[in-house]
Structure 1
Amino acid sequence: MLAEETFRIKPRKNRQLEKDVKLIMKWFAGYFDNREQVEEEKAKNTPPELIHEQIHGIFAPVEIPAFGKNVLYVKQYMDDDPTQVYRQRIYSFHVNEKEEAIELRIYAFLDDEAYIDAHLEPGKLSDLTPEKMSFKEGCELFWYRKKNHFLGYMKEGTCRVCSQKTGKIITITDDCYLDGEQLWIRDRAFDEDGNYIFGHKGNIHHKMKKQYEILKTGRIG
């Protein structure tokens, strides 16, 4: 009897996760920035070392079959200057039945310059495959639905990469918040001795608000 009940429950969970994937794609798709957060911190005379960098994020739905059905091109830059790109990625969302979560796999370009602003020319991405990009196992984010928002987490201690600056191993952690209007990001890195490498020194999220939606082919919604 218990086995039959388990069999009935599992498909229901999977159906809900499939709905969650569609919702997370809808909420992610857009242009975000934390301008308001930075202005508030400056107005409150926040110590300079605790004022957040002003960051901007473009999260554009794209069709790249090799990465699955739910894929975003991501461009993140700083200080109102689209040329100050600090991160460019492909995000691929999948149902993870074991974790009962939405798994976000993050792929880095091997040649960033070749794909700048690919949301405006999505044809640039058509021949990409996971094998042609850099993927760090253990650096996945797992997103969990909490009523009217999602919380995303990396598993503790699993995202270990070699720093391009120092050549040493660092551990990256990240936790995020997403709803229909906001995306909060708190990524941090530490060396093997626990020393701070990057991230907000006050341990506060970059709190970005959606300024407009981005539809497939880069059109603004």
Structure 2
Amino acid sequence: MRRPTDFVMMGFLTTHFSIRTSFTFRHNKCCCLVIPRRCVRCCLNLSTQESKKTLEIFSTWLSWFQGDFDNFEQVVEERNQKIFPREGGGHEHIHCAIQPLFCKPDGHVLLFAKYYFNGNPDIVFRFRVYEAFPSVSPYHPEEMVLEMKILRFYEEAASRLKQINFDIFQLDWNSDHMYEYLVGCEVYWKYNTSTHQSVGEGPHFIGFMKGGGCSVYSPETKDIIHVKDDLILTPNHLWVNDRGFDNCQNYIYGNQRGIHYQMKRVQSGDALDWTLKATHRPKPDIAKAIEELDRQWKVSHQPSC
């Protein structure tokens, strides 16, 4: 997927998402993101220099955040060091695919995120809608950040989405029972112009949750999960340190050493394009070898009765 082009024109934010199913055009001084069978205007007034700067940052975040990201290189390095997932302190092979959906009338942008294991688009383990918009820091009201609400699909919509192989544009977006807002789990993104010490790139966004995390009811475990998350976003990386704990602070998911899933941007034609939905092809030998290593390690560490 090619990187999108972002620009500010005529006092309004216009973001051109270069995906097959959408394009943008200006109409009545508004930006319209067109998606099959629907068009939503997002009109944002840029009357001050400060608001122009805010929307330029928002536009940058949107262009960096969409696309495909994968941590296969991290997994290869860990397995070479005999480091395995979960109790072994390593990471599972995770691919994240994020695509823009549409703008709401209030200027908020909705995006669809899908996560799957082992570079296989058929092994989806999480899917969410994110609602992003300029906001203020929960700690410093005078500081501008970007706020991202996390929306979880209701059971009926989730089942429907699985049936249509996660073709998000086939869902009925007029339904009032599509998804629920996970209150308190908002992620705030702060823009930094300096080079990030760990990632090694220049300007970047740091993602954080107020208080470091939130607590939500899990339909899977039928109990409360305490979530902690911090993230790093650059033009070429999405690092995610998402962990879940039960009421006794036992790990449910995530890296047990608190190390980010270090996902790098993947584009068609590069070394990891076998992980992409549109171009998915047979795994290379090294990927098959790692899956077998992980299987053997998991079997050997099964708890005994």
Alignment TM-score > 0.5, same fold: yes
**In structure 2, distance between residues paired with 1:79 and 1:192:** 29
TM-score (norm 2): 0.60
Equivalent residue, structure 2, for 1:190: 245
Letter in 1 for 2:188: F
Q: Aligned match of 1:159 in 204, 214, 236?
A: 214
Give the alignment partner of residue 142 of structure 1, picking from 179, 188, 211. 188
Between 1:28-37 and 1:58-67, the stretch displaced more is 58-67
Measured after TM superposition, the shift of residue 118 of structure 1 is 7.9
**Residues 96 and 117 (structure 1), Cα distance of their counterparts in 2 relative to 1, 3 Å cut:** farther
The question of whether the paired residues in 2 share the 8 Å contact of 1:64 and 1:125 is answered with no
Q: How far 1:146 sits from its partner (Å)?
A: 0.7
Counterpart for residue 226 of structure 2: 171
Q: Which moved more, 1:28-37 or 1:115-124?
A: 115-124
Give the Cα separation in 1 of the matches to 2:211 and 2:190. 16
Counterpart secondary structure, 1:62: strand
What does 1:83-94 align with in structure 2 at a 5 Å threshold?
A: 83-94=122-133
Gapped runs of 5+ residues in structure 1?
1-10
Is this contact kept in 1: 2:58–2:134, CA < 8 A?
Answer: yes
CA distance in structure 1 between the aligned counterparts of 2:256 and 2:222, rounded to whole angstroms: 23
1:190 to partner: Cα distance: 2.1
Q: Which has the higher contact order (CA 8 A, sep 6+)?
A: 1
The runs of at least 4 consecutive aligned structure 1 residues that moved more than 6 Å come to: 117-120
**Counterpart for residue 104 of structure 1:** 148
Q: Is the 8 A contact 1:64 1:126 kept in 2?
A: no
What SS does the aligned partner of 2:57 have? helix
Amino acid corresponding to residue 160 of structure 1 in structure 2: S
Amino acid at match of 2:116: Y
How many residues are treated as equivalent by the alignment? 207
Residue 55 of structure 1 corresponds to: 94
SS of structure 2 residue aligned to 1:18? helix
Counterpart amino acid of 1:55?
Answer: I
**Structure 1 match to 2:112:** 73
By how many angstroms is 1:93 displaced? Answer: 0.8
Judged with a 3 Å threshold, the aligned counterparts in structure 2 of structure 1 residues 193 and 67 are, in CA distance, closer, same or farther, namely farther
CA shift in 2, pair 1:58/1:128, >3 Å: farther
Cα 1:149/1:129, change in 2 over 3 Å? farther
In structure 2, the partner of 1:4 is none
CA gap 1:158/1:39 in 2 versus in 1, 3 angstroms: closer
Q: Which aligned pairs between 1:35-54 and structure 2 lie closer than 5 A?
A: 35-47=72-84, 49-54=88-93
Q: In the alignment, does 2:73 pair up with 1:18?
A: no
From the two aligned structures, give the one with the greater helix fraction.
1
Q: What's the C-alpha RMSD, in Å, of the aligned pairs?
A: 2.9
Write the deviation string for residues 172-220 of structure 1: whole angstroms up to 9, x where unpaired: 111000000000000112233333322101110000000128xxxx999
Question: Bigger CA drift: 71-80 or 176-185?
Answer: 71-80
**One-letter amino acid matched to 2:211:** E
1:90-128 deviation digits (Å, cap 9, x = unpaired): 111111134521001111122224235989855324625
